[in-house]
Amino acid sequence: MKPCINNYADLLDFLDEKVDSINWDSFYGERKRPVPFITQNTMPDENLVKFLSCHTDIKTAVELGCGEGRNAIYMAGQGLEVTAYDLSCVAIENAKRIMAEVHVCVNFVCKDVIKSGITGMADFVYDSGMFHHLSPHRRITYIELLKKILKPNGYFGLTCFSWGTDCADEIDDWEFYNHKFNAGLAFTKERLMELFSPHFEVIELRKYQNGIPGTIQGLEFLWVCLFQNKA
């Protein structure tokens, strides 16, 4: 840790050191938790399938926190040019193996996009489960990143833990820094609106729908959101 805080970047790094984090290489390597995105790691999200069926003009996509690549691989199978990022090298290697089995092409990159950033622009940015694992101070970095890489009028899709479904930590931002990290942070609909509506047009904000054929099941505790960049 740096001995002094001299600028904004130093402050963010200092706060990073004050919070717990999951060891994602161990998570994907040991596979001890039978969560849906581990047990159904080739199935896309239903909201993503719906979105792409209605927006055939989308040509380029970036996925943040892609895990083992189930959504990125689906997008590539629909003809999109996809770059997908995850900070777990184990997850990325698994994603590349699954991709080779289904004969599509995704540019999988092992990278912490919050700390190192991304170059280039995309029609669509998707995040299925990364946002709710960010510390509150890193949401600022996250939104700045979205604004940088989304084309004018581009779309941003998000799934995240919902408050009141007993799936994640239901605490406010101030409590977070004195709280033992558990599963991630839950959000109310109002809080998501507060965070994202100043920057994006809100197109959709609802709960995940189970039962859609060919999509991952058991995610009824998630919000699914669709936003559009304000031109």
Per-residue DSSP letters for the chain?
A: --S---SHHHHHHHHHTTS----HHHHHHH--S--HHHHTTTPPPHHHHHHHHH-TT--EEEEES-TTSHHHHHHHHTT-EEEEEES-HHHHHHHHHHHHHHT---EEEE--HHHH---S-EEEEEEESSGGGS-TTHHHHHHHHHHHHEEEEEEEEEEEEBTTSSSSB---HHHHTTS---S-B-B-HHHHHHHHTTTEEEEEEEE--TT-TTS----TTEEEEEEEE--
Total number of residues shown for the chain = 231
What type of residue sits at position 48?
A: L
**How confident is the model at residue 95, as a pLDDT?**
98
Q: State the first-to-last Cα distance of the chain, in angstroms, to the nearest integer.
A: 39
> How would you write the pLDDT of the chain (231 residues) with one tens digit per residue?
577 899 988 899 889 888 878 899 999 999 998 999 999 999 999 999 999 999 999 999 999 999 999 999 999 999 999 999 999 999 999 999 999 999 999 999 999 999 998 988 999 999 999 999 999 999 999 999 999 999 999 999 999 999 999 999 999 999 998 877 667 999 999 999 999 999 999 999 999 999 999 999 999 999 999 999 986
CB-neighbour burial class of residue 111 (10 A; exposed 0-12, middle 13-18, buried 19+):
middle
Instruction: Round to whole Å and give the CA distance between 110 and 17.
Output: 21
C-alpha triplet 46, 50, 56: angle, nearest 5° = 140
**How confident is the model at residue 20, as a pLDDT?**
78
CA-based Rg of the chain, rounded to a whole angstrom?
17
- Residue (of 112, 109, 199, 197) closest to 150 by Cα position: 199
**How confident is the model at residue 18, as a pLDDT?**
84
Q: What does pTM read for this prediction?
A: 0.95
Would you give the distance in Å from CA 33 to the centre of its chain? 19
* Residues contacting residue 216 through CB under 8 Å, at least 6 positions apart: 36, 37, 40, 43, 44, 45, 46, 70
**How confident is the model at residue 140, as a pLDDT?**
95
